[in-house]
Structure 1
Amino acid sequence: MCCFTVSQAQKIPADTSFSIYSTYIKEKKKRPYITIAYPLKMGNFKVKRNIVYVKYPTGNLLLDVIYPKKSKKSTPAVLFVFGGGWRSGNRAQNIPLAQKMAQNGYVAITTDYRLSTHAQFPAAVYDLKNTVRWIKANAAEFNIDTNKITVAGFSAGGQLAALIGTTNHDPQFENEKINNHSSNVQAVIDIDGILAFDHPESAEVSTDPNRKSVAAIWLGADLKENPRLWHNASPLNHAGQNSVPILFINSSTARFHAGRDDLIAKIKPFGIYSEVHTLPDTPHPFWLFNPWFEEVSKIMIKFLDQQFKD
């Protein structure tokens, strides 16, 4: 068993309400055959860990780079955005998938972003766009092709990834820049991340009047209090001619892809590619566990190869 540790200096305690192990214990009761997909101890990749890319009073934001051992030509990059209800989780969650990408010729970056315990929307969007800027500023060190960057997100991270990929050239999300590089990306992989908060398929509105939903906590207001805010945080409402090709990998729980089909319909007239894979009888978050881990990685690699490799 291998553990990939995260070092993050922060003044606010981390929210641990979501963890891979606790989710495993819960899901194993329903599916006793599942196992955790652990990181490899070694492989055909190199790692640079705990790189500070921005500093805030609430703590430094760090990232890790996992990249091929031998890469003489410019290489596409994949930015991984973890999930956890916009309040929990950490960048180590997707190290196993990042290692898979590196072993298949991609530079993988796992990054921190400010959670709702630290800052509300749109702070996380600024952070992820700044991670893209960091990637471009440091491209030479890792042989990264800055015209071939994908953002891949999972659950809440999937929503954020889709928002990054539908807001290229959108000035309202260009604040707090760490450098003058573009924050544009060229593709999105959304794994069980919703596309719309204010949507009939969404379940982000709390039915308990005494309890705010995790979305409302992150957004800073309930839907009734500020519908415009919920609308603006929804990738569906930004989708259009500036959107990028997008891969959806979904569980069998429909609410985790709220707005997906509507988004596909919006980008189709512009000839923007989309692809959907729904894995039957899968829990949320299936990508962290066997037997689904290998299938998810294969779908991702096939999509990336199609988009970026000659």
Structure 2
Amino acid sequence: MSAPKIKFRDMHVPADQESPEGMQIVYGDQNDGYACVYLPDIEYAQYEDRSLKINIVMPSRAKGPYPLLVYVQGSGWLPQSLYMAIPQLSDFAHHGYVVASVEYRHSLEATFPAQIQDVKTAIRYLRANADKYQIDPARVAVWGDSSGGHLSALVGVSEGFAEFESDLYTEQSSGVKAVVDFYGPTDLLQMNKYPSKVDHDAGDSPESLLIGGPIQEHPDKVSRANPITYISREKALPPFLIMHGDQDELVPFNQSVLLYEALKEAGQDVTFYKVKGAGHGSRFWTPDVLEIVRKFLTAYV
């Protein structure tokens, strides 16, 4: 049984003048700038019986267009917990961003480059539906953590590489204005050179599952998946913000050093922060860290 539709009367309701003893007053924001809405499980692509979803958090006031922040949740390229970062990401919607958390095909159902193809497809879908979601298609940033940081970095360095694009929404660009990489892998063959709780060279490691075989036995496939492969002086890249905990037990801190040095050597715009005392996401998502992200996005998006 459907709920009855409420009937509204055409009348002006004046401000209430009652003031009981002990009552206090606080003033509301005329623009209601802090309110946002949540749009869950929006399908952006279909592969046979596999539906890929986006979760959107956006300002509730219809006064866009707003810049778009595409978020890629880390998962070791395995099945994602797509809703994990929504509480933190909502704060960016409060500050005037449309935030979209993107699902991709995980490595148990498709090997690389399916994952980057999906993220880029999601960006193009959002641009194609810019009016619907109050998006400014000229102001798009991508942000991810761990494997999501890896894919976000790949988005930033690989614009124009046809093998990373799908045949959906081809009239749109998958390019971005800025990249935020939280502790993402960047050169998979170098990961075992530093202390880690994971044997990254093992045949069943997340990195090996991603490329479809033990990474040390497939260097060419690994090179295609490494963001640093696509960095050069010949092509201007979007600005990068890299942040990594100094006690990361899963992705060695050196992975971010490699990306930072490659970008800097190529003359690209990059900012790098070591987060003291932080692990692989633990003690990381603090107000100070999120404020650094916010200032970076404000400057470039």
Relative to the length of structure 2, the TM-score reads 0.80
Is contact 1:155–1:256 with CA below 8 Å preserved after alignment?
no
Determine if the alignment matches structure 1 residue 280 to structure 2 residue 273.
Answer: no
Structure-to-structure mapping, 1:85-234, within 5 angstroms: 85-199=76-190, 206=200, 211-234=203-226
- In structure 1, runs of 5+ residues without a counterpart are 1-42
Residues of 2 paired with 1:257 and 1:161: CA distance? 17
Is contact 2:201–2:214 with CA below 8 Å preserved after alignment?
no
Query: Cα 1:218–1:163, aligned 2, differ >3 Å: closer, same or farther?
Result: same
Report the equivalent of 1:246: 240
Partner amino acid, structure 2, of 1:173: F
Is contact 2:73–2:148 with CA below 8 Å preserved after alignment?
yes
Relative to the length of structure 1, the TM-score reads 0.77
Report the equivalent of 1:56: 47
- In structure 2, runs of 5+ residues without a counterpart are 1-33
Is contact 2:184–2:256 with CA below 8 Å preserved after alignment?
no
Kindly provide the CA deviation profile for residues 120-177 of structure 1, in whole angstroms up to 9, marking residues without a partner as x. Answer: 1110111000000011001112221112111101111101110111101112212343
Of 220-229 and 60-69, more deviation after overlay is shown by 220-229
Query: Cα 1:154–1:58, aligned 2, differ >3 Å: closer, same or farther?
Result: farther
Is contact 2:116–2:155 with CA below 8 Å preserved after alignment?
yes
Is contact 1:53–1:134 with CA below 8 Å preserved after alignment?
yes
State the Cα distance separating 1:71 from its structure 2 match.
5.0
Query: Cα 1:153–1:54, aligned 2, differ >3 Å: closer, same or farther?
Result: same
Partner amino acid, structure 2, of 1:167: S
Partner amino acid, structure 1, of 2:183: D
Of 227-236 and 143-152, more deviation after overlay is shown by 143-152
State the Cα distance separating 1:196 from its structure 2 match.
1.0
User: Greater relative contact order (Cα 8 A, min sep 6): structure 1 or 2?
Assistant: 1
The number of residue pairs the alignment matches comes to 261
State the Cα distance separating 1:207 from its structure 2 match.
5.7
Query: Cα 1:189–1:224, aligned 2, differ >3 Å: closer, same or farther?
Result: same
Query: Cα 1:60–1:295, aligned 2, differ >3 Å: closer, same or farther?
Result: same
Q: CA RMSD in A?
A: 2.2
State the Cα distance separating 1:217 from its structure 2 match.
0.9
> What's the secondary structure of 1:283's corresponding residue?
coil
Residues of 1 paired with 2:151 and 2:201: CA distance? 24
Partner amino acid, structure 2, of 1:125: I
Report the equivalent of 1:81: 72
Compare CA radii of gyration and give the structure with the larger one: 2
Partner amino acid, structure 2, of 1:111: V
Residues of 2 paired with 1:242 and 1:140: CA distance? 29
